A and B are shown apart, each in its own frame.
Chain A
């Protein structure tokens, strides 16, 4: 009798005030979230609006030097640079990450983690500057120099992600393998890494995502070119972010439009890679 009376009673002025505050708070937070999302939405919509007119078959299939210019050399350049960079940084980064989280002593591990943090936080132009000062005198403005600059930026991404996902492998899985009489290196390679495989691949995708989007370091190392460069890593090569930078600085209306088109292509690639990473993270057990 008493409890139902309590439940059916009308709200006191205190309770009414509390309810109003609740609703105001929810409204405030929702507004903040909307403001936060606004730039991303605005950016995507604007780039899409300005970039879509530039898209055409010739845009994708021609190079800047052709009569009807396109960005094929930039697309292929970006792909080559990032592919070679991940070929180096992938295995080395995963191996280093595995070492730091599985084999290293606590002191070495924390020192290594700190160094990765520093590398991760390095502004990309500094990476480009260092390669420019140290390697370009020997390599010249070339795709090799560009790969080097990108590797400096991509390596810590792979290492950090590897560390995190290896750490997430439950210790019981390792112990089960060791208790079977499996040697430590085989346990690490065939059991621990296999369990974390999904996460290791995520690290690679994140690194690729970073490599495709970097502009400043490439301006100082790979330089960019209007010619097609296929597999000649000893000379300058074009890349999509550089194309955006250069075309937006010209006075040609056509090139400016192509800058927007390239920006749109980059945005779509970035979004796709991001969605890919998130879908893997949500579905799998270990990052």
Chain B
């Protein structure tokens, strides 16, 4: 279970998003929605400590994963990222690797699995990512030879191959066509049983289709983003408590 307490994220001196208090329920899909620039992606990247890979970027506050503060001094960021995986907006399969090598890359480079077991995990991950049938005959083809939607599913397979506890998805469908988008949304719903998923999306309808709980962010006058409201998806979209939330849902801004 993931718990964010008083999290504020900075890019150098600039406060990008402030005072976020959020509980991400396990084995559910949580959507982060809100207008552009209000810090949703920054918040997401803070969860798997990718935020700090940008020079000068820091956060204050604590993020607890199953009771352990992932930002504690004695916690290795690399271990955090093995437990919390990420899928990016633009599909990014490794260009020099085949499909099989792509899925296995996390296991080979970050894990300690025996070679004989890796093949089984590759197949299982591709099946979970609903890509196995389409690529099982051409596993040695380069990962980049697939279409955009397939590449994104490949990236999902690669991310889940290392068996993370949490899967973060940063607008995974915004670079894809509607049909590929639908496939990925189905995939997200099916992955829910095994993983805790947090998805950032610009698309409100997608959030209402795919998620169990939703968190709405917006930008304050000080240009820092903040969390306005969060709760069960159905409640947020039919009976939001805050007027700002209602305004965004109704399309009045954003």
> Is A181 in contact with B95, judged by CB distance below 8 angstroms?
no
Instruction: Answer whether residue A191 sits at the interface, using C-beta atoms and an 8 A cutoff.
Output: yes
Q: Which B residues from 43 to 63 make CB contacts under 8 A with A?
A: 48, 50, 53, 55
Residues of B within 8 A of A197 (CB): 96
In the complex with contacts A177-B109, A180-B162, A181-B162, A195-B96 CB distance below 8 A: yes
Task: Enumerate chain A residues within 8 angstroms of B110, measured Cβ to Cβ.
Answer: 180-183, 186
In the bound complex, do residue B88 and residue A175 qualify as a contact, i.e. CB atoms below 8 Å apart?
yes
Q: Which residues A148-198 have CB closer than 8 A to chain B? A: 170, 172-173, 175-184, 186-187, 190-191, 194-195, 197
Determine the chain A residues whose CB is within 8 A of the CB of B68 once the complex forms: none
Among A175, A176, A181, which residue has its beta carbon within 8 angstroms of that of B53? A175
B141-176 interface (Cβ within 8 A of A): 155, 158-159, 162
Residues of chain B lying within 8 A (CB to CB) of residue A177:
94, 105, 109
Query: What are the residues of chain B within 8 A of A20 when measuring CB–CB?
Result: none
User: How big is the B interface, by class?
Assistant: 20 to 34
Q: Is B182 an interface residue (CB 8 A)?
A: no
> In the complex, are the beta carbons of A178 and B96 less than 8 A apart?
no
Q: Which of chain A's residues have a CB closer than 8 A to the CB of B82? A: 180-181
Q: At the interface, yes or no: A30 with Cβ under 8 Å from chain B?
A: no
Q: Check if B105 sits within 8 Å of A180, measured CB to CB.
A: yes
Given the complex, which residues of B lie within 8 Å of A18, measured CB to CB? none
Majority DSSP secondary structure for residues of A touching B: helix
Chain A residues with Cβ below 8 Å from B96 are: 194-195, 197
CA distance A72 to B155 in the complex (A): 55
Which residues of the other chain, B, contact A194 by a CB distance below 8 angstroms?
96
- Across the interface, B81 reaches (CB within 8 A) one of A105, A172, A181, namely A181
A179 touches B78 (CB 8 A): no
User: Are A176 and B92 in contact (CB-based, < 8 A)?
Assistant: yes
- Does A285 count as interface, using CB distance less than 8 angstroms? yes
Report yes or no: A179 in contact with B48, Cβ–Cβ below 8 A: yes
User: B50 to A175, Cβ gap below 8 A?
Assistant: yes
**A180 and B92 within 8 A (CB):** no
- Contact yes or no, B88 A180, CB < 8 A: no
Select B159's contact among A105, A179, A187, A285, beta carbons within 8 Å: A179
B50 and A182 contacting across the interface, CB-CB below 8 Å: no
State the A residues within 8 Å of B (CB). Answer: 105, 170, 172-173, 175-184, 186-187, 190-191, 194-195, 197, 285
Complex A-B: 14 CB contacts under 8 Å: A105-B55, A172-B92, A176-B94, A176-B158, A179-B48, A179-B159, A180-B82, A181-B80, A181-B81, A181-B106, A186-B109, A187-B109, A195-B96, A285-B95
